[in-house]
Structure 1
Amino acid sequence: MLYRFGVIPCLVVTLAASLAACGSGDNSPSASTGNAATTPAAPPAPFKVGVTTTDAALPPAPQLPTDAQVCSTLQASNSLVRQPSGALGPEADNGTTSAILNPDQARIQAALDACGAAVDAQVGAAISAADAAAAASQTAAAVPNVNIAGASAQQLAAPKYRASQFAVRLVVSSTGPGNAFITGPLTLPSGVTLWIDTGVTVYATRDVMAYAPNAAGPYCANTAVSSTKAGSSSNCLPLIGGSYLVNSAVVGGGSIDSRAASEIVSSNNLYPLMRIDLTCTNTYAAYSQGLQATTGTPCDDGGTFVNTTASARHMTWWDLAWLGNMIENGTTGVGSQSNFRMMVFNYAKNLTLFGITLNNSANFHVVPSGVDGLTVWNVKVQTPSLSASASPAGNGNPNYLGMVPTVDTAKNTDAFDPGSSSKPMVQALTIGSTKISTAGKISFDGYLKNAVFAYNYISTGDDDISPKGSNNPSPAGSGLFGIDGNRDVATDRKYGFVIAHTHIYAGHGISIGSETNAGVTNIQVYDNSFDGSEQALRIKSDWARGGIVTNINYNNICIRNSGQALLFTPYYSTKALPNPTSPLYPDFHDISLSNIHIIGGTSAIFEGFEANSGGITHAALPLGMTLTNVLADSPSNVAVTTSDANLTLNNVNLPIFPSTANRVVLNGSASQSLSTANAVDCSSAYVDFPGIGDSSPSGQTWTGSQ
């Protein structure tokens, strides 16, 4: 298509001094006044992305505990040593017993439990009393859009609600080379910090039995639990989980590696596992009776048939994800994977992730729901990392398709999926794997609020940060949103939901949705860079899980070599409607893009929801968006698709045109000839992933010296 633009004199100029000149027939400052000419003030320099180190709009940065605040310190075994690739040495866990496959879970959990009990004994009663007093003072006639349940996270952050000792610290061996731990699922207690020290890596056990919470099913590590029901991550315990928490954290300069590209094994030889030839080792039906099915019996875990003599290796977690999502779901519509997640937290006040590195989750990395006071600060997520392709067998650890792991084959490895919970909850604090506080119950309203993602580095195979408005804890018709950045904003910050000062590499970018049925509003996204991401700024939904997404503000963003720099669509999938007569209409409006600088060829999609879509009578829900100073270095290499959109353009050089046929209405217009001299400054936006020399499959580059 021929790229045509009109020229827009004066209207596209954004600098105040230039606008003043445009308003006069004579550009001379002395023409109408007769005064001596004065030199106009120089325009302000464009904002420089990637150099901000302090931000008054954010709460104070998290801090590591002091030595005096440590409940207990655990040293790594000298038999567990991380290799330069980041992988665990191949001899470390070759075996069939839990003692070899999962040597550290019991001692880490015991330390967490003991610390949790001590914390509760010291401050549990005070937390309960403060919460009860706050709850008693709250009424149904509270200020609109304020839905605090009990004491707020900000109130409970005070020192008197924190124990004098609250951290369990994992450290390298003091007597040898040991610098790693292998563990199964851990329960993080309320008030406890898991401190993974610099130089330490916590590896997930490969033993499937550690993640299987129910011996009677449904089961973990499959792509289906019946001929009609797909697999689900809820069939597996997460590596680190916690519910009903106050002032809990995972921090440190160390790392957690879920080893999703490693072969799944079992300490129970009857437990069904799939092999890369699609046969299975047993059936769930036989396993539930303590029996071994005979060769030729049809599998009931998504495989083909039982083969008791096959020599093919077992699948990896990412093999299951690829098989379930890309093959079985594509042919039967019921495929998915039962893979464990790295971290799942439900109902918390003050939950912090700080300084740690997360690698190679089998499914989503971090899923926090119903948290007041969520802080994710200086966290690094890189999946797949170099360790994912380091194989004990020396063959590059190919998946069952014969490929080493890539961002394309590490399916459903979202970095952060924050959301609200389904309902308010009054519950005693969890102070260990089997212990509940006796001090009293705490109120949680179920909303996600006071969330900060700052100074992070993220590269993954799916969504990088994906706020999900899937649940609204309030009754239907309350008018509240599942995620609302203006709800109960703490006084130590300017905004209630912020994504800032973050570098994003591979992945699907900052991606709101696809679950938006409970609504998402008032999110601030600023001073972020995207380098090579599949998508960068994205809002996605469909009429099976749609809702209102509004007041999302993107500002000072650098995007380089992205497949789709901008993607806003209500047609995310063709997922079947839960009720064919009651669609959940996706409605995106009052979205702003300001100071967006796009480098390299890319595409952009701006779509609203067309009237009468799918043969169901309904009004149009056009995308409502304002674009200000949105500039591409090579606008002729940007392909734009628009439909059902009302767009306001100011200083935009993307090929966006009005269209009667596609129902696109513009206020203002774009121009290919606009200068990028005043575009946001990206000269320091693109840096190598920290520690990339020993963790990235692609190796270190000179991108940081642009």
Structure 2
Amino acid sequence: MTRIEKQHHLVLLALVGTLHVPAAQAQDTRKVSEPSMPAVCTVLTATQVYAEGLRQLDTTKIQAALNACPAGQAVQLAANNEKDSFHSGPLQIPSGVGLIIDRDATLYASTDANLYDKGEKTCGVNAEKGRTCMPFITIEKAKGSGIYGDGVIDGQGGQLVQGKTESWWQMARRAQREKNEHNIPRLIEIKKSQDITFYRIRLRNSPNFHVTVSQSDGFTAWGVKIDTPSDARNTDGIDPISSRNITIAHSYIRTGDDNIAIKGGNSGATENVSIINNHFYSGHGMSIGSETNSGVRRILVRNLSLDGTTSGLRIKSDVSRGGVVEQVRYEDVCIRNSKRPIDLDTRYDQKALGDKIPLYRDIVFDRVHSLSPGRIVLRAYDAAHPMSLEFRQSSIAANSPQLIQFANLNIDQKKITVADKADNIVWNTAIAASCEHRFTEFPAHTPINFRPQLTSQQAQAYTLENVLRTTGPADKPVTDPWNPLEDNLVKAANLPIDYVVDANAVADGKTRFNTVQAAINQALLDGRRLVAEQSSKQRLFILLKPGTYQELLYVPATALPITVYSNESDATKTKIAASAHAALLGAAYIHRYGAQFAQVDSSIQEMYASLKDRPVIGTSGSAIAWIRGHGFQAKNITFQNTYNKDQVDTKAECPNTVCGATAGTAPVVVVQHQAVALMVEGADKVQFENVRVLGFQDTLFLKSSAIAHTARSFFHRSYVEGNVDFIFGDTTAYFYRSEIKSLGDRSTSYVTAPNTNVRTPYGFVFNEVNFTHDGSANALAGKFYLGRQWFHTQKCTPYATINVASYRCTLSDVDGYQAPVGTISKKVLETVGKTVILNSKIGQHIHLQHPWADWNKKGSLAFRPVQFSVADYLRNLTQVGLQPIQHLGYDSLDNLAPATSGIFLSEFNNTHVPLQPSADSQKTMPTGVK
């Protein structure tokens, strides 16, 4: 069994070693390793964008998915291109169920106080009584539940509460001034539960405490990031309360109150806690208390950096809530920029009343270093309750004030008793070298750059000369410099005439024809003869008189290249047009076009025959103009697939015999199918000058003859329009000083759908191109895309879990899927798709921040995430257990990604401006095209 078979459902088994601490020391008694992602039961994709406002609640669908998820699995919240936001009221995670939030997804807590109210109508109101709000997420009486992923849970603490003039945080500050209670929801509460896991999740902007763990046995937080402003009141990071067996590891916490606060309140002691390999920033420090009345014991804090916390290592309590805090070990701790780097105080509230006297004993500081001056507070309650502390190989920065009362100290085996008060204890003040590299920047949640830009140096690789320099197999490229701008097709005022096509003239079958296909057929025959005669003629020219030629145009491989042109500079006056679509039955294709191919050369008949016996002709069979001849040229001509072009009838239906539906099924609704206007297949040095290519879906298909084989096309002063994937394929094509228009017939549009092989240096390159739109409401919504990478012939996706029980997608030599198991080939994985756009104008119809899209949405068989570079490609493979060298047979990853082929999608020097649609997209060339 391969590794991908063992590690699917996006499970990344990255067990990074156990936290080993001698059993006799204070610690979590469990054997804790880095968690792994659970299998996914359901994928939910986002439908909202935060910047546009969160207008709907996703509470019902998220809670329903959680309730239906089997124990041991998780509900996954995933972004769908720019739609990356979920918006919810309170949620409850059932026992055994997980919640995964993907890297680019955010779950926002609603700011509607009414949703959190426990029934007293006081949530969101400052009053004498507090704690009347439910938390945003509750895990109660659960075992094995958890929250996972690299995404975000955002409590929106700084946003205005719905219907009010204050945010949650402002409400809390006002309560502090008015000396009453603020009724504000916590972000996550875990109650009376076992073995709960938080893994890699990012929590931010909680209205109140971020995470509380109460009366629970077993909680692991690993790789968690907590991020809330330093002035947000009562926003503790993680608070274990009356619980045991807690591990918080490899986490980063900056907040407005205690980074961690271990509490032993009325419901019992907190014990067996490991705080390992963490980093704290703003906040009130690594705290114990203030509730310690039931006891806190067996605590290990190891390898911790605190940078900018108000207190560093802190134990706080008073006579209203005090108890015994014992067997606490601090090891390898570095503190800087703290007002009170060590702060052990039994008089937390100076005005507190009661008889619960705090007692701190058996507290060890081993290799604890305060690097900047700050007040050292070691204040026990009285002489009858001294604190006992031991310092080993620790240091305090020089000039640090001291407040020490009733303490029995052991400083590097030197015993010191402070009977009443002291402020002159001698400490080691040497700066610890071990802290030199311990501080690190808080890991900011930087969204993926969905609009990567080339450097000036990288852009030089995309000049016309460089892109069109080579042809042939990518691993053995043939240098064949080609500059189509130097060709007579561009430069000459008049081109030669070998044949004339005129629908209204008398044809002679030799040099004058009524159809374009007849002229192509004769040029094919004459070309063979001329080559056999060793003629000096290098090319054959076919002049088309103005008019609409309602026919298909098939150009096979030719002995001499062919140029088809019109002398009319207005390309709309000379048109080759027909109607065909991917769902058209082979029988209907024969009925429409069979007579056209009855008396043509066998090479043309072969092209026709390859389609006629198909049940349906498919996407490639729908091409109106199908070019296989090397060196083919066209000028001043329109190629149009008229399928649904005159008027889109969204309610149209047609019978099975026409549309291609399976016999006995309901009629097919004909709204849109793939309908290719122009297909270039395997032909090299194909050139188009002032042509128009018109269609809707899949307008222009540029197809190589073999995998990773470079064939070159060039479009100059030309125009292409469509709505979905309307420039697609795996060849190298250069578009120069042209217009590409998106039509708004659908709510979503993709200009390109490249499926370039990873080894092919160049895919589609657009230089000085205007990307325009038709002014439709869909286009003006600004949510169209420059492209998505065609996941060619995929039958299953290894990149995401599908909403199918026991789903797997494994590497194989073939592509297939029979639920719940599918296979995918290396060939399909390598069709990465490449498009680069330079020096162009991009209209308002293209999404400004997110112009490149995933291939379909997560949770579907056809999903693949957008990949901008070979680094993305390799990372995505390894994340699902595929090792590029071991499983895909690459000799070297360096050879896989030379300078150009390492870039998949990028831009350079483009402007994103509102462009007005052409006055008549069917009749005018783009403004400013030269």
Q: 1:510 to 1:199 in 2, by over 3 A?
A: same
| Secondary structure of the structure 2 residue equivalent to 1:589 | strand
Shift of 1:530: 0.4
Q: Contact 1:366–1:415 at 8 Å: present in 2 too?
A: yes
Match of 1:172 among 66, 79, 83: 79
* Counterpart among 267, 271, 282 of residue 484 in structure 1: 271
1:666-706 alpha-carbon deviations (Å, 9 max, x no partner): 9xx7356x644xx36012211111126679xxxxxxxxxxx
* Distance in 1, Cα, partners of 2:245 & 2:365: 22
Query: Does structure 2 retain, via aligned residues, the 8 Å contact 1:556–1:680?
Result: no
| Shift in Å, 1:536 | 1.0
How far the C-alpha of 1:470 sits from its partner, in A, is 0.3
One of 190, 206, 212 as aligned partner of 2:111: 206
Q: Could you say which residue in structure 1 is the equivalent of 2:373?
A: 601
Q: Is it true that 1:533 corresponds to 2:355 in the alignment?
A: no
Alignment partner of 2:347 out of 561, 571, 593: 571
Q: 1:219 deviation in Å? A: 1.3
Partner of 1:414: 236
Conserved in 2, the CA contact under 8 Å of 1:557 and 1:680?
A: no
**Given the alignment of the two structures, is residue 92 of structure 1 paired with residue 56 of structure 2, yes or no?**
no
Distance 2:95 2:18 in 1: 30
Of 132, 136, 144, the residue aligned with 1:247 is 144
8 Å contact from structure 2 (residues 253, 259) kept in 1:
yes
Q: Which has the higher strand share?
A: 2
1:72 and 2:42 matched: yes
Aligned equivalents of 2:19, 2:341: Cα separation in 1: 26
| Residue 56 in structure 1 maps to residue 26 in structure 2 | no
Q: Summarize the Cα distance change of 1:575–1:692 in structure 2 as closer, same or farther, 3 Å threshold.
A: farther
Percent identity (aligned): 34
Alignment partner of 1:257 is 2:154 = yes
Taking the aligned partners of 1:689 and 1:168, their CA distance within structure 2 comes to 28
TM-score if structure 2 supplies the norm length?
0.44
Could you tell me how far 1:353 is from its partner in structure 2?
0.6
Query: How far 1:658 sits from its partner (Å)?
Result: 6.1
Q: Which amino acid aligns with 2:196?
A: L
| SS of residue in 2 equivalent to 1:194 | strand
What SS does the aligned partner of 1:209 have?
helix
Q: 2:191 aligns with which of 343, 346, 359?
A: 346
1:370 aligned to 204, 215, 220, which one? 215
| Aligned match of 2:390 | 626
Higher relative contact order (CA 8 A, sep 6+): 1
1:567 aligned partner, one-letter code: D
Q: How does 1:608-687 map to 2 (within 5 A)?
A: 608-610=380-382, 620-632=384-396, 634-636=397-399, 638-650=400-412, 661-662=420-421, 670=426, 675-676=430-431, 679=432, 681-687=434-440
Deviation at 1:471, TM superposition (A): 3.0
User: What is the CA-CA distance between 1:484 and the residue it aligns to?
Assistant: 2.3
Instruction: Check whether the contact 1:343–1:365 (CA below 8 A) recurs between aligned residues.
Output: yes
SS in structure 2 at match of 1:466: strand
Conservation of the 8 A alpha-carbon contact between 1:597 and 1:680: no
| Counterpart Cα distance in 2 of 1:505 and 1:365 | 15
CA shift for structure 1 position 585: 0.9
The separation in 2 between residues aligned to 1:211 and 1:360, in whole angstroms, is 17
Q: How does 1:221-236 map to 2 (within 5 A)?
A: 221-224=124-127, 229-230=128-129, 232=130, 234-236=131-133
Cα distance in 1 between the residues matched to 2:152 and 2:215: 25
Residue pair 1:413, 1:462 contacting (<8 A) in 2 also: yes
Residue 525 to residue 660, structure 1, CA distance change in 2 (3 Å): closer
SS at match of 1:562: coil
The structure 2 residue matched to 1:547, chosen from 311, 323, 334, is 323
Distance 1:460 1:547, change over 3 A: same
When the two structures are aligned, how many residues end up with a matched partner?
Answer: 424
Equivalent position of 2:228 in the other structure: 383
Give CA-to-partner distance per residue, 1:510-539, whole Å, 9 cap, x none: 100000000011101110100111111000
2:772 alignment partner in structure 1: none
Query: Offset of 1:662 from its aligned partner?
Result: 2.1
| Inter-partner Cα distance in structure 1 for 2:287 and 2:113 | 31
Alignment of 1:422-437 (within 5 A): none
Q: Residue 645 of structure 1 aligns to which amino acid in structure 2?
A: A
Query: Aligned equivalents of 2:446 and 2:17: distance in 1?
Result: 24
Q: Is the 8 A contact 2:283 2:310 kept in 1?
A: yes
Question: What is the distance in 2 between the residues matched to 1:418 and 1:575?
Answer: 26
The answer as to whether partners of 1:630 and 1:651 remain within 8 angstroms in 2 is: no
User: What residue is the counterpart of 1:190 in the other structure?
Assistant: 95
Offset from partner CA, 1:306-358 (integer Å, 9 cap, x none): xxxxxxxx111001100112x011xxxxx121000000111111100110000
Give the 3 Å change call, closer, same or farther, for CA 196–586 of structure 1 in structure 2.
Answer: same
Counterpart in the other structure of 1:107: 61
Contact 2:360/2:387 (8 A) holds in 1: yes
Secondary structure of 2:342's match? strand
Deviation per residue, 1:329-388 (Å, 9 max, x gap): 1xxxxx12100000011111110011000001000000111221100100000102xxxx
Task: For residue 639 of structure 1, report the CA deviation from its aligned partner.
Answer: 1.1
- 1:111 counterpart SS class: helix
Counterpart amino acid of residue 202 in structure 1: L
Describe the SS at the equivalent of 1:627: strand
| CA shift for structure 1 position 657 | 7.8
* Residue 627 of structure 1: how far off its partner (Å): 1.1
Q: Aligned to 1:220, which of 123, 128, 144? A: 123
Q: Is the 8 A contact 2:18 2:32 kept in 1?
A: no
Q: Secondary structure at the match of 1:352?
A: strand
5+ residue gaps in structure 1? 1-51, 82-87, 94-99, 120-161, 267-272, 274-313, 330-334, 385-406, 421-447, 474-481, 486-496, 612-619, 696-706
The residue number in structure 2 matching 1:328 is 178
What is the alpha-carbon distance in structure 1 between the residues aligned to residue 173 and residue 259 of structure 2?
A: 19
Q: 3-state SS of the aligned residue for 2:300?
A: strand
Note the C-alpha offset of 1:238. 0.7
SS class of match (1:641): strand
Provide the rounded CA distance (Å) in 2 between the counterparts of 1:517 and 1:261.
33
Q: Is the 8 A contact 1:595 1:680 kept in 2?
A: no
Summarize the Cα distance change of 1:199–1:349 in structure 2 as closer, same or farther, 3 Å threshold.
same
Matching residue's letter, 1:195: I
**Do the aligned partners of residues 531 and 694 (structure 1) sit closer, same or farther apart at CA in structure 2, a change above 3 Å counting?**
farther
Relative distance call for 1:243 and 1:565 in structure 2 (3 A) is same
Number of the residue aligned with 1:276: none
CA contact (8 A) 1:650 1:670 kept: no
In the alignment, structure 1 residue 456 sits paired with structure 2 residue 361? no
- Which amino acid in 2 is paired with 1:627? F
Contact 1:544 1:575 in 2 (8 A): no
Give the distance between the partners of 1:499 and 1:378, measured in 2 at CA.
12
Q: Distance in 1 between matches of 2:419 and 2:97?
A: 59
CA distance in 2, matches of 1:576, 1:60: 42
> Deviations for 1:30-74, whole angstroms, at most 9, x for unmatched residues?
xxxxxxxxxxxxxxxxxxxxxx98743451110112xxx211110
Aligned residue for 1:256, secondary structure, equals strand
Report the CA distance between 1:207 and its aligned residue.
Answer: 1.6
Counterpart Cα distance in 1 of 2:345 and 2:376: 10
Structure 1: how far apart are the matches of 2:74 and 2:447?
A: 29
- Cα deviation digits, residues 387-409 of structure 1 (max 9, x gap): xxxxxxxxxxxxxxxxxxxx13x
Cα distance between partner residues in 2 of 1:323 and 1:370: 31
The SS at the match of 1:110 is helix
